[in-house]
Structure 1
């Protein structure tokens, strides 16, 4: 019994020590709970004003915490070690009122990012300056309207990105944007802003998109380095970089004296002074100027001759600059997309020295060598599983073969001196983002890995153009497989069996689902899904290309060229949605089953139902005038197999034909013009995965009708 007290004492000591160890943990947990409680309260007050018919914010529950285990537990909430630092509530169908004042009570440093893109919010711009610490504000693709107060962004010293595009804002651009010292990106395109553009002099400003508004006047000198498409759609804007010239200021009154202008603190323009001197208008009103002076007969002729000589000199310099510019375009990976196709494969040459460009063309007189070295740069490889197997100079020395001139750029097969081939896609319409954001997005694409995605290997950045480098795939695209083609007209389509077509559809759907999971922050993760952007491997497995390029494309060019921007909701409401890629998938399914190319524009007249002739099944005027959705929708379901389905599939077994009808239904559900009634991608994929086909050996998947099918080509 003597040992009992000592044992009890040791037990008590151990309990005290354990309590001492647990107390800090309990205290930390308590502090975290206390810090998150105000955050939850603030977010719930914000939610109270939001209309959430779809239940997207169902995880925002009073009995839970917005951040847990070092990450977010509420949908759309961004967390870090300090708590809530951002909201990303995009494409959720939200509407109602955004009471940002409720968020001022968030503990810690406060919100840094705020994004409500692609929702249904309406009314005036929320009072964002209540959150003075914001670095990024994304409110594009909503229904906000009205005049934005001039001081709407006053005091926001950390603000870097403001994206208000695709709304209905009116009135002048808020002057307080010019006072945001760290502004990097400003996108106000596709609104109804009026008046003149404020002078945005921020040194780090890399993108200003003001296209499709009602702005007027001369573009400020601080923005003249931007591309012209950033100002397109403003009929009354003038000056560089637009081609529209600004009207010359009115000439001074003949009775005005130059001294008066000096007293007012201004100086007459040189053009006005030259006008007065050449016409002699001032002399006529001031007799004292003519005393003792007689007009010299040859003075005016000498002035005209000098002006003519100067004009010829400028024209000569411009002509030389233009010749050099054209030489650059044709030597660097062949012609641009608008150039004619060369008769033979060109030899790739290095860029001509930029420093030799005339000063009139924008050349830099000093430090040209360093500028050229920095501009030329290096290839950047983005794959962790791939080594650096060639350099830029190897690419410049490679033999380039033009594979196709698609609407986004020109595609080449570059054969290196080692004999290895890569595909180089040259883009001209990627001036939307600066180098830092472009490189960040390329690294994001480099991390993607899926058996049905053609991986990005490397890229090359220049301000004027970008090169994206992929592995070379010798097979043709799905468009060539289904429709044939070729400039000589000798390339014919292949008879592709149902099993091969279903395999392609499943591969495309899986890759699309992967993009939606990995790039969930993008409204349109693919953006350009069509048959010519799907390559086929040796076993007829699909490889998607040109995916996730919307963030780095110029908005105006994306709207004109990319397939997702042809969707019904884009045409109806002026904005894309998460289901725009689903619409593209539906059209692709109908194309694969009917064997005819789709048209992405609505038909001018109702298309007749009935048999698709063989001429309609090939590319041509007849095929381009009938919308696939209209053709299938106007044909009774019982007649699909005899009138809509490709002739090459009509000999399949009855079980396979039943599966074809099911897939057509999936395609039509994905092509629903009402975006609310259109299937979700998840639903479409589940139905596609349920479909079956009789397995065939790889050599029987597609019967090639023309032996030239094995030639190298790529759309």
Structure 2
């Protein structure tokens, strides 16, 4: 009997070994890639296992003659390293892992798969430089590394990829100039997007040789300098060349593809002049003027044009003077009647000024009808006083003012900077509309400049401002609606919440990285290197997949221009209730009623400073990190006294308390993440240094976070 059992066990072991050995080498290679993935929330790799003969039936795998030629797993929220083992798949032709959460550097060994024709890693969290070994991919046709953390320069070796048709490197941290010979080497290019980087130097004159380009050639939001090369006009005329927001200078060439382009292709370059911009170029003294009437070519006045035939000036007759006076009196009376009528219309609508906030859209429509003039009613009204129209800031805005007026609106929250509404249009599109104060009618141009600059910011981790409305009576800002509330509520819950599940450590870490990435963009890669100045958990909104979106950027200044609202400095001292929750009147967390929680995010030097600094944002971000690590509100009760969170953490360190007394008790079940938590705690403490000069930049914080998770993961 014992022998029979031993024999059965031997057979079972033998068969199991046979099953394991049945998988071919490429299958084992892919399983190594699977092991580098630490999160697979959608089960994209669930059928990748050892029991198959080969991987050709696995999700995302395509084979030809039993050899793996394609790995395509986009938008599956995979979290992990990009394993270099993929380079050993010698028949591999296509890799598409876009819109996942892969981190780490681009492994050199992946370029050993020299038959690669497409490498699409768009929308991940890869960092480091692009290895020069990329030049080994002589058959590469598509390279899309957009929306990552890549830095360094574009390697010259990329020019060896002469079959390249699509090159996407936008929204990274790339610097340096374009390699010499860019336009003569990559002549097969059809799509080119280098926007939102830190590229500098001049635009290569040979780029006009890229005759296969199609659609939009996007070089915007970089630091390119010098003149626009005339050779760029040799590109196909259907190509739209976006050169906005660089440091280009000189006149805009008027030839080929550069002719008949709107000003948006060139805005943000203070040194550019000439059409289509409304900035005239300084005329060259050595060249003839292009204007037909300058002082030197005016015709002399004819004698009769200045005097009568007798050579004496003729005065006005008494009858003419009486007629002029009478007509002036009539005109004054008409103007008085017009103003009386307008005043009556405004007063008749005054009742609506105190309309219920919940009925805002209806009351706003009535007030708009009262206060706004059509052009045929008052052609002379200055645009500085009244606009009365919805101004889109994005080509994707597909709604107008009438649709907004017909929409359903719900109050989401109130603060010292106005009321925020959730607005649902008839087609189901949901928006967030912030209603600013009244007044400021003479500052429209100033408001317009500010709001249009903010509207140009485009980043995955910053709430997008889509449109605005300005009138004497109303100022509105229309944003994307972010559905999952704000970070404060996600961390602490809110009063009256029956059940509350704290955020897991991986989700918190993802939020930390996203906030850092958004701030780094504002500080270093936005057109004006902005400062947020009022960062706190209530204005970090969470999207569908809990990705963070920084909101309320520039809001203090806009509210101040709009009239009657607090300045940015006072706003920082006012705790705003979360506006992305239906019950906007609920408190965010049980913090001390005596210590102002909003002031805890404020850098120590801020009250003494006039001009906001990027180091303010770094400090605020550090406090938010501490709040996310500890799970505690910004004001901590210690016995009978109160401390701000930074002081409490420093006290815990001085008393040498164990890590698990500091971190959120919910993390007790995630003890394997201790090394990551300690690393994040160190980054947070660096951010909240009292001396602003000792705080790191947000770009360095980003790099540190990604290095930490890659080394631990």
The bucket for the TM-score relative to the shorter chain is: 0.3 to 0.5
TM norm structure 1: 0.42
TM norm structure 2: 0.42
